[in-house]
Every structure is written in structure tokens, then in C-alpha cells.
Amino acid sequence: MAFPRTQKSKPGPSSPIIFLAICIAAIALLFLFSCLISTSGFYISSPKILESMPEDKYKSQNHQSGHEKYLYWGDRIDCPGKHCMSCAGLGHQESSLRCALEEAMFLQRTFVMPSRMCLNPMHNKKAILHHSNDGISEERWAANSCSMESLYDMDLISGTVPVILDNSKKWYQVGETSMKLEARGAAHVEGVSRVDLKENSRFSNLLIINRTASPLSWFMECKDRKNSSAIILPHSFLPSMVAKKLRNAADEIKELLGDYDAIHVRRGDIIKTRKDRFGINRTLHPHVDRDTHPEFILHRIEKWVPSGRTLYIASNERTPGFFSLLSVRYKLAYSSNYSHILEPVIENNYQLFMIERLIMTGAKTFINTFKEDDTDFSLTDDRKKNTKVWQIPVYTMDEEGT
Ligand SMILES: *[C@@H]1O[C@H](CO)[C@@H](O)[C@H](O)[C@H]1NC(C)=O
Ligand SMILES: *[C@@H]1O[C@H](CO)[C@@H](O)[C@H](O)[C@H]1NC(C)=O
Ligand SMILES: *[C@@H]1O[C@H](CO)[C@@H](O)[C@H](O)[C@H]1NC(C)=O
Ligand SMILES: *[C@@H]1O[C@H](CO)[C@@H](O)[C@H](O)[C@H]1NC(C)=O
């Protein structure tokens, strides 16, 4: 026989030990499983796992009436089938999410939210928290996505637009129901207008409308964004729907800051230059590098921020002490002053930015880098949106006002 006898299992003194070991392993596995289930990012693949999930937390009038219908745009904002590496930053993704939520409101459907949001590593540098400490840090947070619930408060959003997450028990059940309904269950639509989706009974009676949004950016679906009467949700909607623990951290910091003003100083990506064919540096924002230097900021904000005020500086500039000059007139504060509050709640740059955004919103006077529709003050007169004209950067004061 080719098999040695010792490999044969036979009843003997070792079997109770093996039995015990199997029991322990089984318990450990069960425990591991329950941990996985409680992690919000876990993808659902088996109905067995669903049984043990908590009931859906997000109730709304639609849910209660039992007649709700659903709108699904895909499982990643702006990144259908793409890697998170190529995704746009938070601002773009929020514009896109807002566009989708507006459509759900228009269609009076529950929106099925992607359960995770991509974090482009380019926008996930860790440095801001520590920039007043030692040296320039290239440290980044490792994750390339995070759970939607770690960023936004689904209950709060549902108060305006009912939403469910695409990893929820509810969504799984809706999927099952739609299969039973066959042709009336779900349809995949592309390039159908919003009005058609609402008024044409071919679509309006469907349980699920599965829409392929623009593969570049979801917000391309909201073409008349410039028509203010067509905008249902204001720009400030998502920034105010931030997850509770982030809102609490912002409130705590605002409390400590007391009566304060704030500036948002965008540098980094926005001051990038590239050489033209004569080897001369050119940029899309010729004055921003100059206008975001402390001596120019000091001059520019003099008329808006009186001497002695507390000034909160939110910036992606990573050179230590870059803004120190401003302390000749103001009491300066950065995120790094509040790392004891931030460190325990922050896992990525989007969360940090969301908190800083709430702090900036709470300032008595707020000055943004670029002039936006709803802000009166800006550090520069350059236009934020310029994608074509590459100009030679200007560093001298004489050029101001051109
Ligand atoms: C939505 O449509 C896409 C494209 O046909 C398909 O791959 C996806 O499985 C559909 N999702 C749902 C939830 O119906
Ligand atoms: C602006 O939006 C409103 C509401 O959707 C619409 O009735 C109106 O025709 C739009 N105006 C233009 C110029 O597109
Ligand atoms: C051009 O840009 C590079 C990189 O930003 C910089 O190091 C260099 O000093 C600039 N050259 C001139 C002439 O301003
Ligand atoms: C923030 O920290 C800096 C450097 O440690 C300090 O000079 C400044 O006074 C602090 N600001 C506030 C508002 O506590």
C-alpha cells in the first residue's frame, strides 16, 4: 500500500483534542465573521449574512407608505469601472452626488447611495495636521476609499432626500423584489431625460431605475447647473450633512476658537507651473502663488480682518511656518492646534477637510482663495475655472488689479 498507516485517522486518545480544536476554530471563525459584518464596507454576497444585519436605520415617509421606488446610479461616484486612483477630488464627487440626489428628488424616488467613496491618493496627503511640526512630510493616508457613512449622516440626508446604501439589507431585498416583478422591476436607462423618467409610464412605474450616468462625471447629467431656478439643492447641502462625529469635532474646535475669522489658502496643485516651448514657466492662475504668500495676504485682508483677531488658516501648504508672518497682526490657529480633537476621529483627508469646512463656515469673516458665487471676499482676483490659457506667473505687487 502506498499510504503509510500513520495517516489513517482512527479512534484513539487524540480525537477529543481534535474535536476541541475544531470547536475553537469554529467559534473563532464565527467571531471573525460577526466583526466583518459590523464593518460598513463589507460587501454582501450571501443572504445568510444578511439575516444577521441590523434593520435599516434610514426611514422616511416613502418607506412608511410602502410605495417607494428607487433610483440607482452605480456603485461609485464618477468612477464606473475605474480605479479610485483616477477619481476626482471631494469637490467634484460632491457636485456629482448632489446632481444624483436632485434627480431622486425630482423623480420622488429613494436614492441608492454608493456605500463607499473613492479617495484619490493625490488628495489624501496627511501633512495638514502636522504642518507646524517638523519638516515637510510626504506621509499619506493609505486607504483609497472610505465608507460613505464615515463622511455623511444618512439620517440627516434622508430628511431631505430619502437614501439607502447599496450594501444595505433593504437594497438587497429591493433587488429580489425587482426580479419577481420581471419587466416592471428594473430597467437600465441611458440618455433618457429626467422629465421622461418621471412622466412616461414606461419608466415611472418601475421599482428601480438603473441609470448609467456620464462615465466622466455624474454632474454632467445636471447640464443646466447655471440656471439657478433649476437647482434644487444648494451648494451648502452636502457640507452641512457631514457625519455626526465630524460635526461634533468641528463644534468643539469652534467653541475653543470663540470669535474668529478664517481664510482658506489653496496652494499645492493650484499653483503648479509647466514650461512652454521656450522653457518659460506658465500657469493657469498667474497671481495665485503671489496672492497666497503671507505678505500679500496681510495686505489683502487688512480691510476685512481687524488687527488682533483670531485667524483660522486652512491650507494645503506644507512648508512649516509658511504663514508665520501673519502673526504680526493676528492670533493664528491651524488644524494642528487641535490635533488632540482631530486625531481620534480623522482617518482621511476628506474627513479633515469636511471639519475644516465647517470651521470656515462658522467664521465671522471668511475669505476664500478664489471668489465663489456665494462668498464676498477672496485672496485672489484670478478666476478659479481656467482650463485653457496658460500665463506667466506674476510675483510683483505692481501687477495687482490686472
Ligand atoms: C445596472 O445596469 C448595469 C448596466 O447594465 C448593470 O451592470 C448592473 O448590474 C445594474 N444594476 C442593478 C442594481 O440593476
Ligand atoms: C431654468 O430652470 C427652470 C426650472 O427647471 C425651467 O423651467 C426653465 O425653462 C430653465 N431656463 C432655461 C433658460 O433653461
Ligand atoms: C519654474 O518653476 C519651477 C518649479 O515650480 C521653479 O523651481 C523655477 O524656479 C521656476 N523658474 C522661474 C524662472 O521662475
Ligand atoms: C496654535 O499653535 C501655535 C504654535 O504652537 C501657537 O503659536 C498659537 O498661539 C496657537 N493658536 C491658538 C489659537 O491656540
pLDDT digits (tens, 9 = 90+) for 244-258: 999 999 999 999 999
**What residue ranges do the domains of the chain occupy?**
47-240, 244-378
State which of 79-83, 130-134, 339-343 shows the largest mean pLDDT: 339-343
The residues near 323 (Cβ < 8 Å, ≥ 6 apart) are 265, 294, 297, 313, 315, 317, 332
What's the CA-to-centroid distance between 322 and ligand 1, angstroms?
49
Residue 32 has pLDDT above 70, yes or no: no
- Higher pLDDT residue, 11 or 19? 19
Residue 170 has pLDDT above 80, yes or no: yes
Give the residue-averaged pLDDT of 353-371.
Answer: 94
Residue 380 has pLDDT above 80, yes or no: yes
Segment 120-145, tens digit of pLDDT: 776 666 655 554 444 444 556 667 88
Segment 217-236, tens digit of pLDDT: 888 888 666 666 667 888 89
What's the CA-to-centroid distance between 210 and ligand 1, angstroms?
6
The CATH code for residues 244-378 is: 3.40.50
Q: Which ligand ends up closest to the CA of 262?
A: 4
pLDDT for 59? 47
Lowest-pLDDT range, 39-48, 200-209, 333-342? Answer: 39-48
- How far apart are the C-alpha atoms of 253 and 86, rounded to whole Å? 33
Give the residue-averaged pLDDT of 11-22.
Answer: 52
Whether the pTM exceeds 0.85: the reply is no
pLDDT for 125? 64
pLDDT for 10? 40
Q: Which ligand ends up closest to the CA of 80?
A: 1
Give the residue-averaged pLDDT of 12-30.
Answer: 52
- How far apart are the C-alpha atoms of 351 and 143, rounded to whole Å? 13
What's the CA-to-centroid distance between 268 and ligand 3, angstroms?
14
Joined together, the cell numbers standing for residue 377 give 471676499
Mutate to test the pocket of ligand 3, among 271, 272, 281, 390 (most ligand atoms within 8 A of CB): 281
Q: Find the Cα–Cα–Cα–Cα dihedral 84, 87, 88, 94, rounded to 10°.
A: -70
pLDDT for 15? 56
